[in-house]
Amino acid sequence: MTMQLKKQRLLVIGGTSGFGMAIARQALQEGADVHIIGHTAAHVTAAITQLGPSDHLTGTALDAQNLAQLKTFFAAQPAFDHVVSMLGGAMGGGFLDNSIAAIRQTVEDKFFANLQVAQLASHHLNQHGSLIFTSGAGGRPDNASGAIVGNQAINTMVVGLAVELAPDYRVNAVAPTWTPTGLWRQLSDAQLAAQAATVSAGNPLKRVATPAEVASAYVYLMQNEFMTGQVLHVDGGVELV
C-alpha cells in the first residue's frame, strides 16, 4: 500500500542543508507537515527561509546527539508519522592511518547517535509510522575505516529494529555515495570538482547524484508501507565495479 504524505507529520533531524533540506522540500510538496532540526537557530532560520516560510514548516535548534535535549524535544511534540535522521559524518583513511579515538568518534556519531534517536523516537510515532536512517555506500575499509564500521552498524540496526518494531512501525535506511552537499563545505571549488570527477569515474553512470535524487529515496520509504528492514543504495551502481 502506498501512503500519501498529505497531513503526515515528518521530523527531519539534520534538515537544514543537503539531503535533509531536499527531503523537507519534497515532503512539503507532497503536503506533509515538516519539522526540521538543526544545530543552531541561525541554521534553522536560514533553512526555513530557503524552503519558503509555510504553515506546514517548523524548526528547532538543538544538539541531536544530546540525550537530555532530545528527550525534552520529543516530550513537547505530538507524535510523528515519520522520523528521518541524517546524523553521522564522513571519515577518510584506513585503520592504521587514524587514531583509536578518531575511529571511535566516527562510529559514535554514525551508529550510537542514531541508536539513541531510535530508542527515543520509537515511542513518539503514530501507528504505522516509520524511522529512516542514513547509511552510506562506496567507501572501502582501507580508505574509510570508521565510517564503514558505522555504516555497517546502522544497516544491522535497521534489520534488528524492523523486527522489534513490527508490525506497528517500519524501519529503513538510505545509503548514498559521495554527493556534493554542504557536508563538504570545507572543500574549495577545485577540490569539489576533483572529487566529483573521481566519484563519477568510479561508477557505471559516470556522474554524481543530486541531493534531490537521494532525497526521493527517503520519500519513497515513507510512502511504501510494505518496505521495512531495507537499505536503499542510491549510489549510481558504485559497488558494481
> What pLDDT sits at residue 184?
64
pLDDT at residue 71, rounded to an integer: 98
Q: Looking at the domain assignment, is residue 127 inside a domain?
A: yes
Residue 1 lies inside a defined structural domain of this protein: no
The closest of 35, 90, 91 to 64, measured between CA atoms, is 35
Q: Which three cell numbers stand for residue 218?
A: 527517503
When pLDDT is cut at 50, 70 and 90, the band that residue 163 belongs to is very high
**DSSP letters spanning 17-28:** SHHHHHHHHHHH
Q: Which three cell numbers stand for residue 18?
A: 543537503
| pLDDT of residue 1 exceeding 60 | no
**pLDDT band for position 230 (50/70/90)?**
very high
Tell me, yes or no, whether 3 lies in a domain: no
> Which of 44-53, 157-166, 194-203 has the lowest average pLDDT?
194-203
Per-residue model confidence as pLDDT tens digits over 104-140: 999 999 999 999 999 999 999 999 999 999 999 988 9
Residue 170 lies in a domain: yes
Q: How confident is the model at residue 236 (pLDDT cuts 50, 70, 90)?
A: very high
Domain count, the chain: 1
Domain that holds residue 22: 9-240
Residue 4 domain-assigned (yes or no): no
Query: Nearest to residue 14, comparing CAs of 73, 64, 82?
Result: 64
Cβ–Cβ contacts within 10 Å for residue 189, how many? Answer: 7
Whether 28 is in a domain gets the answer: yes
| Domain CATH code at residue 13 | 3.40.50.720
C-alpha span between 43 and 103 (Å, rounded): 28
pLDDT of residue 89: 86
pTM of the shown model: 0.95
Non-local (6+) Cβ contacts of 123 within 8 A are 74
**Number of other residues whose CB lies within 10 A of the CB of residue 187:** 13
CB–CB of 9/78 below 8 Å? yes
Rounded Cα–Cα distance for residues 222 and 199 (Å):
28
